Amino acid sequence: MSEAEIVAIRCLRDNYAYLLHANGRTVLFDAPEAEPILQALAERGWRLDQILLTHHHDDHVGAVPELVAATGATVTGAAADAHRLPPLDRALRPGDVTDAAGLPAQVIDVPGHTIGHIAFYVPDARAAFTGDSLTAIGCGRIFEGDAPMMWASLQRLNALPAETLICSGHDYCAGNGAFALTVDPDNADLRDRLQATATAARPCAPVTLAEERATNPFLRAPALAATLGLDDAEQAFAALRAMKDNF
């Protein structure tokens, strides 16, 4: 097994797609925009073998037809969402283990932002591809599920090893960071992270789960519950999500 390489690609206005390259093979997590992805492949001389999709939103699947036409890559996504994803060559269920560039990728059910949203955890790459579930200093807006569902999804991801790189679908760091400071103003780790991002000392994302645990207000719902006048983590999460929706 060769060392896995992960490349984050900026797409559209604020999306991220990710290439994972290992064993001489390359897979893509989410397909927002063809041109920057094809360029990243060409720059490295990589051929795209497979596209893995986290959820059905257009800014995650819109470039699938163009990428399939250009590369012949196969398409993998959630069986539960097969009716609203591009045509799938492989349909997955939570708990399945699929192949990503010769590495096992565990399929984790993370509904909330959408029903049928999945994340991929690749232990050999020490990375999780989380789409719009757990994101940098935030989490996806709850469109189709409810707060208890999203909280349970975040707990599933929070159970991964601390060193796991959280590769999520957007760079909303500025807005997420500004919100996080309003609910967690005394958090030195959060201030350090935002300072490092502002001075370009290091990117806001992707970072490890350990860093998200320390700085992401939604993962910190249990710690923030008391300041919100609540004694329950799930209620605190729901309150934080509602505050962010109106921020």
Q: How far is the CB of 80 from Fe ion (least distance, A)?
A: 15
d(CA 221, CA 244): 13
Output DSSP code: residue 224: H
In the complex, least distance from residue 49 CB atom to Fe ion, rounded to whole angstroms: 24
How far, in whole angstroms, is CA 21 from its chain's centroid? 18
Supply the minimum distance, in Å, between the C-beta of residue 228 and Fe ion: 26
Task: Output 57 or 193, the one with its CB closest to Fe ion.
Answer: 57
Work out whether 21 is an interface residue with Fe ion (CB under 5 A).
Answer: no
Q: What is the DSSP string of 125-188?
A: GTEEEEETSEETTEE---SSS-HHHHHHHHHHHHTS-TT-EEEESB--HHHHHHHHHHH-TT-H
Would you give the distance in Å from CA 164 to the centre of its chain? 12
Q: Which residue is nearest to Fe ion (CB)?
A: 57
Give whichever of 33 and 132 is closer to Fe ion, judged by the CB atom.
Answer: 132
Q: Which residue's CB is nearer to Fe ion, number 81 or number 132?
A: 132
Separation CA 146–CA 235 (nearest Å)? 12
Closest to Fe ion by CB, 132 vs 184, is: 132
What torsion, rounded to 10 degrees, do the Cα atoms 21, 204, 11, 161 define?
A: 40
Residues 95-154 that bind Fe ion (CB under 5 A): 132
Count residues contacting Fe ion (CB under 5 A)?
A: 2
When binding is defined by CB under 5 A, the residue of 21, 25, 56, 57 that contacts Fe ion is 57
21 or 57: CB nearest Fe ion: 57
Minimum CB–partner distance for residue 187 and Fe ion (Å): 27
Q: In 3-state terms, what secondary structure has residue 197?
A: helix
> Segment contacting Fe ion (CB under 5 A): 50-58, 95-103, 122-130, 158-166?
50-58
CB of 132 vs Fe ion, minimal distance in Å:
4
Q: What is the DSSP letter of 201?
A: S
The residue (of 57 and 220) whose beta carbon lies closer to Fe ion is 57
Strands of 97-100's sheet in order across:
97-100, 103-109, 118-122, 127-131, 165-168, 207-208
Smallest gap from Cβ 120 to Fe ion, in A, equals 15
The residues that touch Fe ion, with contacts defined as CB under 5 A, are 57, 132
